[in-house]
A and B are shown apart, each in its own frame.
Chain A
């Protein structure tokens, strides 16, 4: 579904040129999930923008669904960190937005969104505005809006990072349910180790800026019952934590070396 080969992105600011991503390669099967984990500000979001077609100024090859990545691919859905909900639209108006932009008629877009809003428990709040919702509800609206256009690729940037632990796990469960019911590929960017292990059949560990692939971890227990409390889950978490800690130590040592 996704094929990334030697992807590099360079930020060109007004007075500085900063490499954000250096030589990333990975691939994702159709219908699989993948978690990209790495330190904050390492270029994960930039990579998501490239995959969504919103950043055309990259080097390397990026293919989505066997075709070069392009803007406005209709089957790609993107959920950004702050959810990107429109404050002047009600929950329902936000959810149908994707269909509205595609010119789907009013009655059809409402009927097509009923199901997903029901799945995510949004029918009771459908006439409220985003500012009247809790963080978890807002995230549900963002997921419903993305699902309404029936994507085959879902890209999420730190989707649950601002939520409390229980709400977060609840939404992670919801996401897996939605995923398992559809032929959908999910790529999720996170800095939370448990989240990556719970959701990603493949976990890509990135190095600090400029981001490069440090390791690729196969994680096949995703979606099996009781996964979150299984021995294997904790084993993978520990392994991942080990990698990230080691990386952090090396980085600190390198900085100290530079400083002396």
Chain B
């Protein structure tokens, strides 16, 4: 992998991945042996429970959580990216919208969880809504700033070739912003999983958040860690998808 391209774990050779996982597990194991706490079982036990349960109820909760996170990210993307591109290139609208964004962006959306549940119940929708509320702004602001810094000379050359306004967006602004959209996606993926966890621990019967909290309340530590491992898997799958898409779509960045 030469050049300035970012490399993800899918593109990198297997050895560093194995080394990283070995390091993580060894550290965990040593810490568990050293501390001798019930709340920190050795990785062997946790993985045993994980393998045993993943084909059953844990697998089901993982599915539910994956679905919620994926839908939230896709919905946020579809809403935030076009708006971000537009605001980045139309300063007159941005001047009006930007203050609104800056007021709403830092508000901790988690506090609305009880309101959202009161309004929309306990299904998937309120959880997805909460995640979207949080990550929408992160994608919006990143995309807008990326669209803003597009080189005017590039746009002028396209205009001189006869491009319409829409074609400028499609041929220049959107592809120029794409690498930054992927960066935003990497960041919001972590955020989305964290918000999902909280939303699933609050009057919920499904999802990894519920699984972990339920095991915790019963002091079943091996199950808690099996749930945490499942969450790690969820992260790995999502980052894998992102790296795969990035490599395909932003090919010119990975030369």
A residues in contact (CB < 8 Å) with B: 49, 52-54, 71-72, 74, 76-84, 86-89, 97-98, 101-102, 129, 131-132, 145, 149
Interface of B is mostly: helix
How far, in angstroms, from A83 to B163 measured CA to CA in the complex? Answer: 16
Distance in angstroms from A26 CB to nearest chain B CB is 21
User: CB-CB contacts of B31-65 with A at 8 A, as 1s and 0s?
Assistant: 00000000000000000000000000000000000
* B236, CB-defined interface residue at 8 Å: no
- Which residues of B lie under 8 Å from residue A49 when comparing CB positions? 156
* The 7 nearest A-B residue pairs measured at CB: A84-B157, A78-B160, A98-B161, A88-B175, A129-B252, A88-B252, A101-B163
Question: Does the CB pair A101–B161 fall under 8 Å?
Answer: yes
Chain A residue at minimum C-beta to C-beta distance from B168: A101
Distance in angstroms from A35 CB to nearest chain B CB is 20
Question: Does the CB pair B160–A86 fall under 8 Å?
Answer: no
Selected contact of A132 from candidates B160, B172, B255, CB within 8 Å? B255
Selected contact of B160 from candidates A54, A88, A89, A129, CB within 8 Å? A54
- Which residues of A lie under 8 Å from residue B158 when comparing CB positions? 84, 86, 97, 101
Distance in angstroms from A78 CB to nearest chain B CB is 4
- Which residues of B lie under 8 Å from residue A145 when comparing CB positions? 161
B residues in contact (CB < 8 Å) with A: 3, 153-154, 156-164, 167, 171-172, 175-176, 178, 250-252, 255
- Which residues of A lie under 8 Å from residue B178 when comparing CB positions? 88
Q: What 13 new A-B contacts, CB under 8 Å, besides A72-B162, A78-B157?
A: A49-B156, A53-B160, A54-B160, A78-B156, A80-B153, A84-B157, A84-B158, A86-B171, A88-B178, A101-B163, A129-B251, A131-B255, A132-B255
Selected contact of B162 from candidates A87, A88, A89, A101, CB within 8 Å? A101
Selected contact of A77 from candidates B154, B160, B164, CB within 8 Å? B160
Question: Does the CB pair B175–A149 fall under 8 Å?
Answer: no
Question: Does the CB pair A76–B252 fall under 8 Å?
Answer: no
Chain B residue at minimum C-beta to C-beta distance from A55: B156
How far, in angstroms, from A89 to B161 measured CA to CA in the complex? Answer: 15
How far, in angstroms, from A54 to B153 measured CA to CA in the complex? Answer: 11
Question: Does the CB pair B153–A82 fall under 8 Å?
Answer: yes
Distance in angstroms from A153 CB to nearest chain B CB is 11
Chain B residue at minimum C-beta to C-beta distance from A84: B157
Chain B residue at minimum C-beta to C-beta distance from A76: B160
Question: Does the CB pair B167–A101 fall under 8 Å?
Answer: yes
Chain A residue at minimum C-beta to C-beta distance from B161: A98
- Listed by A's residue number, 26 A-B pairs whose Cβ atoms lie within 8 Å are A49-B156, A71-B159, A72-B159, A74-B162, A77-B160, A78-B156, A80-B156, A84-B154, A86-B171, A86-B172, A86-B175, A88-B175, A88-B178, A97-B158, A97-B171, A98-B161, A101-B162, A101-B164, A129-B251, A129-B252, A129-B255, A131-B252, A131-B255, A132-B255, A145-B161, A149-B162
